[in-house]
Amino acid sequence: MQNHLFIPDSYDPVEFMIDSAFTPRLDPEFWEFMMDAREDLESAQSDLSSCEFDIESAERNMSYYEDMRYYGGLSSYERRAYNRAKDELAEHKAEKAEIEEEIRDIKSEIKDWMNVDPEFIGYIAIHSYRAKNNMGNVLMGSMICFIDKDMTHVVTAYDPESMEFKRLTNFMEQINDGDIDLDE
């Protein structure tokens, strides 16, 4: 808590709950993996959307020049533009296939992690407290801590109010609810 609080001397514990932690869902390594996987998946899906837009654009350009060819032929400039659009279409389709493979790989890794047999790895503690913020106001806070099997040290801790943690829990809820299909 000393490293987390603005005014450590104002720390006042409120509640402390502890329970056993098992792989994979309560494994800090799993949480770190899932944070990275969420970012990678969002990035790949964004790249895929951009690539699909580029494919549509190249197809529209090709269609335009194909229509012109039908109605009277193409000039050398128009033939080059058509061939450029055709080449771009092939490049974007190849890029799309690579991105789709990357998405499948990310989802496969997530699925592999989630299918790990449960194993006791230590304890999870949820700790609520009061403390002063940097302006001197007393606020409630909480921490989720992973503690080793021997209960000798905190392996890692998370602030459940942080954006990073909220994104992680939202991502895991989407997977559990089937909003993110890992079998695609």
> 3-state DSSP call for residue 1?
coil
- Whether residue 3 has pLDDT greater than 90: no
pTM for this one?
0.81
pLDDT of residue 168: 94
Mean pLDDT score, 105-125: 95
H, E, C per residue of 101-128? HHHHHHHHHHHHHHCCCCCEEEEEEEEE
- Rounded Cα distance, 173 and 170, in Å: 5
Query: In the predicted model, is pLDDT for residue 58 greater than 90?
Result: yes
pLDDT at 172: 93
CA-to-CA distance for 100 and 49, rounded, in angstroms? 11
pLDDT at 6 over 70: yes
Average pLDDT of the chain to the nearest whole number: 92
Amino acid (1-letter code) at residue 171 = F
Mean pLDDT in residue range 115-123: 94
Rg over alpha carbons for the chain, rounded to the nearest Å, is: 26
Give residue-wise pLDDT tens across range 70-112.
Answer: 666 778 888 888 899 999 999 999 999 999 999 999 999 999 9
- Lowest-pLDDT range, 10-14, 63-67, 82-86, 134-138? 63-67
Residues above pLDDT 90, as percent of the chain: 77
CA-to-CA distance for 16 and 39, rounded, in angstroms?
31
The predicted structure's pLDDT at residue 71: 67
Domain boundaries, the chain: 8-177
For 134-180, what is each residue's pLDDT tens digit? Answer: 899 999 999 999 999 999 999 999 999 999 999 999 999 999 999 99
pLDDT for position 76: 84
What is the mean pLDDT of the segment spanning 58-68? 86
The answer, yes or no, to whether residue 68 has pLDDT greater than 90, is: no
Q: 16 has which bridge partners?
A: 127
Quick check: helix, strand or coil at residue 20?
strand
